[in-house]
Structure 1
Amino acid sequence: MNSLAEKREVKKNKDVKMPASKMVMIFIVATGVFISLYFYLPDTFSHSAKIMTAIVCFGVILWALEPIPLGLTSLIVLVLMLLFKVAETDMIFSGFSSPAIYLIVGGMMLAKAVNETPLARRITYKVLKKWGNHSKGLLGSILLIMQLQAFFIPATAVRTTLMLPISTMIIKTVDARPGSNLRKMILLGIAFGGNISGTAVMTAAIGNILTVELLDSYANIKITYFQWFFYTFPLWLILIPAIWFLLLKVFPLTKKEQSFPMIKNEMEVKLKELGSISGQEFRCILILIFIVILWSTEPLHGLHPSIPAIIGVILMTLPGIGCAQWANVVKINYNTVLLTSVTLSMGYTLIDSGAANTISEYLSLDWVLSFVKNPLLAVIFIAILTQLFHKLISNVSTAVVTLVPIVISIAANANVDPMILGFTAGLTSLYGFILVVETMPNLLVHSSGMIDQKDFLKPGLYATIVSTVAIIIMACTWWRWIGLV
């Protein structure tokens, strides 16, 4: 890499603080939207519904533009809900006591514990050694690694974080220069691979967990770990090769960029440095297998997925049994915990305040109700609506907890089962490919400083179309065959 390019990358990698004037302007806009909604929403909205709608929009603007950290915005939204008394205090705090939050916290701690061992790196090096000596195999290896991690490492953000140092090593090894198609293909392989990696494994994405929680709480629909996998694994099998093929076509490579014999040698060196598999890694593997077995057999024992996650954390940190130090495992990202807890509380309160029901009544036009009464048309309508909605609501958690309650209310107005509507909305929310802010994998890859927002646009548009069409195909085939539609 030439020195000028290195200087540019170093400059891009530095944390750039938002100018104070821009921060103030964003807060003025968010506050203006809050005041406007409160005073100008029609009288069909109750007082609590007006306030709650205003708070949601205020929070969404701050989460989308991020003038302050996501966790700090979450606390502001929480305080606003409490000060304006949009619901009972217990209801507003209920997101923090949800089993879904303990599953997320447990999942993040599990990921920390796994990262205390060389296991994830060993698997990555082995896969790259076998298939990474050609551009097609390299991209396929990146996508495959992301999917394998989904079974054992909950949260797309954690999996992406683990892969970023690997991607940096690959980029240096194959000399993928700044702005080259090869570099874009590698980085978007991680971002897009991370987005689709949450498809079939319920615990692999926060959006899945929130969708299951909301359907259970407000529609009395319980979806187990095994059921989620059963409903979605054909979609997963479609998306993996589809994204692989798409990225290869969007980023054509020169002949020189297609072969990397040095990858095999580099991976052999890395594996030699790791040495043979240790007792620490072996214990980690056994505990992970035990957790996955508990998750997949939920119908037999009835344990909420959060319980196996917590059991796993205990086993991985117990002296003499585990594979990690408690002091390191407990250092998790509380921005994510606060964001998820508050957005879940927001979803609950959106329904409890009557805001979700009032909004759904405005959306319950005759043609909308006729659409949702037909299961196949309902899937098409909700998938497209969710993709459009997701462009306005930046992160997956906020999109899910804002849209799923409204969709449940629309289903109630149409007098249809809310299962397929809520499930489709939650699942489609995972697939944000166009904008950096839509998903954590996009955001983390972009934050590396090695890729720009404009690089997401064309492949992201194609990936959005592919994922939406794939969901519709699933509804017409697999979901109809198994009776889900």
Structure 2
Amino acid sequence: MKINSRNFSILLIATAVMFVILLLPNPETLPVAGQRALAVLAFAVILWITEAVTYPVSAVMIVSLLALFIGLSPTIEDPSVTYGTSEALSMAIGGFSSTAVLLVGGALVLAAAMEITGLHRRIALYILSKVGTQPGRLVMGTILVSFVLALFVPSATARAGTLVPILLGIVAAFGLAKESRLAALLMITAVQSISIWNIGIKTAAAQNMVALGFIKAEYGMDITWGAWFLYAAPWSIIMSVVLYIVMTRLIKPDIPDITKGNSLKKQLDELGKMSSKEKKLIIIALALLILWSTEGLLHPFDSTTIMIVAVAVMLTPIVGIFGWKEVQQKVPWGTLIVFATGISLGTVLLSTEGASWLSANSFEAMGLNSMPLVMMIALLAAFNILIHLGFASATSLASAFIPIVIALAGSMEATNFNAIGLVVIMQFVVSFGFLLPVNAPQSMLAYGTGTFTAKDFLKSGIPLTVIGYLLIIIFSATYWQWIGLL
């Protein structure tokens, strides 16, 4: 991102806010290290919301600040001793040792394999070619493709990058401009469906791994792929039906008959026969899906180990798909840096008691920790949706918000519910991003094509957000309690 006067001014403001918090009188109930961690959090949130610097650059800044400020802070156990910059730096980069980071990294390699072999495009074209060319069928096919790709491609932006050119090709095949209502219908459907299945599938989005990293650090446990699917997939299935109903009624294509389109079959034919690398990748991807979904049931291997073994196989000469030089150019390493730094910041907030103090002086002061569980979830979810309007990255939002939820769960007066379940449900809401294109990278990618307006997107986003929010409350009162998530 280009650094201009606006971005530099925002950077100065973020720095000023950070130092104001650092210089405030230290509350008795807040450790010095916790106050300094909150100051870095404020700095980070301003940069994340405004994107004054790129996310990887913000990650380097955050690590540096944590190493310096926490390093010079007295420890919680013995205030006469400081952490030291070496120990603080270890805390600041602690997220890089999280198994969640390895899972995301491996999944990004899998996404690169899909791109290099072209298998993701073949899958998308095949499904769309089978559903037909009526508007309603195309909407259904777009939702189905987003679900299938979510099983294998962990990046929402990458899935959008696969779908967008295919959908533009469909629109062009019918002799329509990209500003047509058909283009708007398909593009909005694609990115809203991608957001829906970010929630339904554990490995579909990096922000899920952020929450799981915090859960592992705080509670010492992981949630299997199958368990996550059991919790979230019913919600995503219902929301997919809602999306179909909303989109087919909200946007009517501007031509009465588009059955003459044959672009899908033509594009599929142009791909030719499936290559040996594509066949290998199909075998690896299906094996991954089977092993992930049976984790803890048929075998003892965790999701991350399974993913790393799959990467090793893909990189193995002869039996593999590509070499390291080929894949390293396709993996967005900056994403991993941001992801790991987000986990580090959240973990520091928890370990220095900054998150618990913030929770006690915000949510707990409002009486949330003594409210009935479902009402508390309703208020937390509403707050979550509201603050998401200021975030362009769900990963950043998860890094800032989930540690506070964990601290709140730890202070709850009631003990007849699963604290981890509360954290997981709030993570589901973190992935909403239905209202504005700027709230999700995949939406911005599609918005950049000029096929729809922000107003069009908002018209679809309002009912999706309202219904999705109500479903969160209903599931919290029924299904999630029945299956033991709460």
Q: 1:364-400: per-residue Cα shift (whole Å, max 9, x none)?
A: 13631222xx332233222222212322343111211
Give, as a single letter, the amino acid of the residue that structure 2 aligns with 1:68: V
Between the aligned partners of 2:455 and 2:2, the Cα distance in structure 1 is 20
8 Å CA contact 1:207, 1:427 repeated in 2: no
- Bigger drift between 142-151 and 18-27 goes to 18-27
Residue 41 of structure 1 deviates from its aligned partner by: 6.6
Structure 1 unaligned residues grouped into runs of 5+: 1-16
Q: 1:122-152: per-residue Cα shift (whole Å, max 9, x none)?
A: 2212222122411111111111101001111
Residue 178 of structure 1 deviates from its aligned partner by: 4.8
- Confirm whether residue 60 of structure 1 aligns to residue 60 of structure 2: no
Counterpart position of 2:105: 105
Counterpart position of 1:11: none
Give, as a single letter, the amino acid of the residue that structure 2 aligns with 1:441: Q
Counterpart position of 2:282: 285
Give, as a single letter, the amino acid of the residue that structure 2 aligns with 1:357: S
Residue 440 of structure 1 deviates from its aligned partner by: 2.3
Residue 101 of structure 1 deviates from its aligned partner by: 0.8
Give the 5 Å matches for 1:319-338: 319-331=317-329, 332-338=331-337
Q: Which structure: greater helix fraction?
A: 1
8 Å CA contact 1:125, 1:271 repeated in 2: yes
Residue 175 of structure 1 deviates from its aligned partner by: 4.1
Q: 1:295-346: per-residue Cα shift (whole Å, max 9, x none)?
A: 1222143333122112112222322212334322222112211110111111
Residue 357 of structure 1 deviates from its aligned partner by: 0.8
Between the aligned partners of 2:369 and 2:36, the Cα distance in structure 1 is 27
Between the aligned partners of 1:243 and 1:41, the Cα distance in structure 2 is 50
- Confirm whether residue 359 of structure 1 aligns to residue 344 of structure 2: no
Between the aligned partners of 2:21 and 2:450, the Cα distance in structure 1 is 37
Counterpart position of 2:75: none
Between the aligned partners of 2:449 and 2:265, the Cα distance in structure 1 is 26
8 Å CA contact 1:360, 1:409 repeated in 2: yes
8 Å CA contact 1:190, 1:441 repeated in 2: no
Structure 2 unaligned residues grouped into runs of 5+: 72-82
Q: Do the aligned partners of residues 460 and 386 (structure 1) sit closer, same or farther apart at CA in structure 2, a change above 3 Å counting?
A: same
Counterpart position of 1:69: 54
Root-mean-square deviation (CA, aligned residues, Å) is 2.1
Equivalences, count: 464
8 Å CA contact 2:178, 2:450 repeated in 1: no
Give the 5 Å matches for 1:165-244: 165-244=165-244
- Confirm whether residue 29 of structure 1 aligns to residue 13 of structure 2: yes
Give, as a single letter, the amino acid of the residue that structure 1 aligns with 2:42: C
Give the 5 Å matches for 1:304-453: 304-331=302-329, 332-362=331-361, 363-365=363-365, 367-371=367-371, 374-415=372-413, 416=415, 417-453=418-454
8 Å CA contact 1:390, 1:432 repeated in 2: yes
Between the aligned partners of 2:38 and 2:174, the Cα distance in structure 1 is 50
SS of the counterpart of 1:231? helix
8 Å CA contact 2:356, 2:407 repeated in 1: yes
Between the aligned partners of 1:165 and 1:314, the Cα distance in structure 2 is 31
Between the aligned partners of 2:62 and 2:125, the Cα distance in structure 1 is 43
Give, as a single letter, the amino acid of the residue that structure 1 aligns with 2:30: F
Give, as a single letter, the amino acid of the residue that structure 2 aligns with 1:341: A
Residue 433 of structure 1 deviates from its aligned partner by: 1.3
Counterpart position of 1:10: none
Aligned-pair identity (%):
26
After TM superposition, the score normalised by the length of structure 2 is 0.90
Q: 1:130-181: per-residue Cα shift (whole Å, max 9, x none)?
A: 2241111111111110100111122222212222222332232234435443
Give, as a single letter, the amino acid of the residue that structure 2 aligns with 1:403: F
8 Å CA contact 1:211, 1:400 repeated in 2: yes
Residue 427 of structure 1 deviates from its aligned partner by: 1.0
Between the aligned partners of 1:392 and 1:143, the Cα distance in structure 2 is 27
8 Å CA contact 1:178, 1:450 repeated in 2: yes
Between the aligned partners of 1:227 and 1:30, the Cα distance in structure 2 is 40
Between the aligned partners of 1:354 and 1:449, the Cα distance in structure 2 is 46
Counterpart position of 1:147: 147
SS of the counterpart of 1:405? helix
Residue 240 of structure 1 deviates from its aligned partner by: 0.7
Give, as a single letter, the amino acid of the residue that structure 1 aligns with 2:318: G
Residue 285 of structure 1 deviates from its aligned partner by: 0.9
Q: 1:436-472: per-residue Cα shift (whole Å, max 9, x none)?
A: 3322212322344544444432322222112111222
Between the aligned partners of 1:61 and 1:443, the Cα distance in structure 2 is 20
| Structure with higher RCO (Cα < 8 A, 6+ apart) | 1
Residue 252 of structure 1 deviates from its aligned partner by: 2.9
Between the aligned partners of 2:237 and 2:59, the Cα distance in structure 1 is 35
8 Å CA contact 1:104, 1:155 repeated in 2: no
- Bigger drift between 430-439 and 356-365 goes to 430-439
Give, as a single letter, the amino acid of the residue that structure 2 aligns with 1:271: L
Residue 253 of structure 1 deviates from its aligned partner by: 3.1
Give, as a single letter, the amino acid of the residue that structure 1 aligns with 2:54: P
